[in-house]
Structure 1
Amino acid sequence: MVVQQVRPWEWLSPTGAEGEPKPLTPAGERILTAASTLFYEQGIRAVGVDTIANTAGVTKKTLYDRFGSKDKLIAAYLQRRNKVWHLFLDDQLNQRKPGTPEEVILAMFAALTEWMTESQRGCGFINASVELAAPDHPAMPVIVAQKQWVRAEFLAQAELAGCQRAGELADRLLLLHEGALVSYRVAAMSHAPEVAHRAAADLLANWPRD
């Protein structure tokens, strides 16, 4: 069976629904790099534009000229993180070379284990969703699209594997995947990704096929 992976950058632009971002100037790149580190490590609400501008070595005027507002900078941060995650996952799949749809799904869970060793504060998208309560915040479409992408990949692979009720299986896999991220961060469960990987393997092994 030929595995037809949904390539991350084909299914979803890293910018969500707004298309590719404009190329950043050197100052814009410094701002986004500084904001990405500060937002992830300290929290979105805890970091002000003064801190970001000072860290990036620019004025607040330059920050606003490039990004328009802190809210739009938050969206840009998540867009950047989304792109990094997609490229990381694709690299992991290329290294593991899964040969069946089931192996693709399990490789995604294995990649989660690798990702979390470098992301000690958990999922940046989940963290942001907690801090950004307003549904109309510019970053919310990026957060929603990132989670929808994960489910869409699970669904595509489940359908390729001939699984019955593929949508329900994709829902369960998504709950395992996202639950591992939350448990890792909130419950200090460092082995959560490995537990989710084993649970996904058991789920796939016993799921009915056509």
Structure 2
Amino acid sequence: MDSATAREQALDAAEKLFYGRGVQTVGMDDLRGASGVSLKRLYQLFPAKEQLVEAYLERRDVRWRGQLTEYVARQEDPRERILAVFDRLAEWFGEPDFRGCAWINAYGELGATSERVTRQVRSHKRAFREYLGGLVADAGLPEALTGPLFLLAEGAMVTAGIDGGGAAPAREAREAARLLLGGPRSS
């Protein structure tokens, strides 16, 4: 098995296990069994578990933000694009394997002890906030709306994670966002 294949298999297993069970409960032996990659090879690819967590978060970030961007881009109206962020969150929260925000979860487990994890989490959240800021600018709205919209989305993620999923937090956040934007009442 070449290094690229072994790396992808390790990251696939890490994502499933870390997201599903939590980082600290998953050992390298669990990852070996789930990935089919030998322990020796795992440690060659990721000399420390923290590096594997970092790579998992980085890869997930690219996919998560790509899916969000693709979903939002389906809307032509710039204001509707902002609200579509919350619609995408509602879909995500309703997925059967939803376990909350991977970055918030990882930060809660390792943020106090891992600079690598903290850096990944902050980078992801900063990129998400900047994305919302771009949507706000494209809609010709005041930049000051970016922070409140970001907090609504993040609050919905935390609430959905704690409540065990379901679209209600995203729908409530969407309605609050609509009120901030001054749009017509949702039906």
Q: How many residues align?
A: 180
Are the aligned partners of 2:111 and 2:118 in contact in 1 as well (CA < 8 Å)?
A: no
Structure 1 residues 185 and 86, CA, compared in 2 at 3 Å: closer, same or farther?
same
Q: Which of 146, 153, 172 matches 2:124?
A: 146
Task: Give the whole-Å Cα distance in 1 for the aligned partners of 2:99 and 2:42.
Answer: 26
Render the CA deviation track for 1:29-71: whole Å, top value 9, x for unaligned: 1111111100000000000111111221222111010122100
Alignment of 1:68-87 (within 5 A): 68-87=47-66
Q: Does structure 2 retain, via aligned residues, the 8 Å contact 1:71–1:137? A: no
1:51–1:93 distance in 2 versus 1, CA, 3 Å: same
The verdict on how the C-alpha distance between 1:120 and 1:136 changes in structure 2, with shifts beyond 3 A counting, is closer
**Preserved CA contact (<8 Å) 1:53 1:59:** yes
Question: In the alignment, what sits opposite 2:151?
Answer: 175
CA distance in 2, matches of 1:193, 1:176: 9
Partner of 2:90: 113
Matched, 1:200 2:181: no
TM-score, structure 1 length as denominator? 0.79
> Which AA in structure 1 matches 2:139?
A
Task: Supply the AA of the counterpart residue of 1:181.
Answer: M
Structure 1 distance, partners of 2:46, 2:165, is 37
- Name the residue aligned to 2:13: 34
- Say if 2:23 is the partner of 1:44: yes
Q: Counterparts of 2:114 and 2:108 in 1: how far apart (Å)? A: 14
> Matches of 1:51 and 1:158 in 2, distance apart?
43
Quote the offset at 1:120 in angstroms. 2.0
Instruction: Tell me the residue number matched to 1:13.
Output: none
- 1:60 corresponds, among 39, 45, 56, to 39
**Partner of residue 162 from structure 2, selected from 168, 172, 186:** 186
Q: CA deviation at 1:107?
A: 1.1
Q: Supply the distance in 2 between the matched residues of 1:114 and 1:138 (Cα, whole angstroms).
A: 30
Q: Give the drift of 1:188.
A: 4.4
Bigger helix fraction: 2
The structure with higher relative contact order (CA 8 Å, sep 6+) is: 1
Structure 2 residues without counterparts, runs of 5 or longer: none
TM-score normalised by structure 2 residue count = 0.88
Q: Does 1:131 align with 2:103?
A: no
SS at match of 1:147: helix
Q: Is the 8 A contact 1:53 1:63 kept in 2?
A: yes
Matched, 1:103 2:80: yes
